[in-house]
Amino acid sequence: MTGDVRVLLVSGSTRAASTNTAALRTARLVAPEGLTAVLYDGLIDLPAFRPDAEVTNGAVDDLRNQLATADAVLFCTPEYAGSLPGSLKNLIDWTVGSGELYRKPVAWVNVAANGRGGGASADLAKVLGYVDAAVIEPACVQLPVHRGAVGADGTVVDAAFLAGLAGALRTIADWVECAGLCRTALDDPAGV
């Protein structure tokens, strides 16, 4: 890897003991060399999206800054009432006009039991498509996490999960690096 890849980790859960957030905490531990995983923790602080008003708000500014400075975003969200939690949809709504997710490489990890969480994943794909994020399909994985697999430190201890998550992060890093090389080749064909 030629440079450090910064991946912003966004949990769609506001629950203190969330397996989704535990999964993303774990991502920081299994991140491959050259990838820095940063956990976003401002979901609960975001105000309701107001498209008719220019908002100056510290939580919104922080979100936009963290998204803008990330090379990629990894989401992990529960499914509520067959769809995305409203708080995660609200987060994405804040980027519609400002464009921080436009062409941004994104992926998600679904930690629900097999056969569950599909509505949230499908709606996340739909909403990210609307904001024209660049979905890294091979990094979008289902890696079920049982509550008992979360250790006292709030990270997941299941070996199969750890391997699967490390693989998804490696895929994101490789994709970001490849995209960067392609941009360099287009900008300076003689330099590649």
| Cα–Cα distance, 36 to 27 (Å, whole number) | 10
Which pTM does this prediction carry?
Answer: 0.91
- What is the span of the domain harbouring residue 29? 5-191
The CATH number of whichever domain residue 91 belongs to comes to 3.40.50.360
Nearest CA among 121, 107, 98 for reference residue 35:
107
Q: Is the pLDDT of residue 65 over 70?
A: yes
Share of the chain above pLDDT 90, in %: 76
**How many domains, in total, are found in the chain?**
1
User: Given pLDDT bands bounded at 50, 70 and 90, which one contains residue 189?
Assistant: low
User: Given pLDDT bands bounded at 50, 70 and 90, which one contains residue 184?
Assistant: very low
Question: Which residue do the tokens 């999960």 mark?
Answer: 161
Query: CA–CA distance from 34 to each of 18, 25, 140, 170, 176 (Å)?
Result: 27, 17, 20, 10, 11
What is the pLDDT, as a whole number, of residue 147? 87
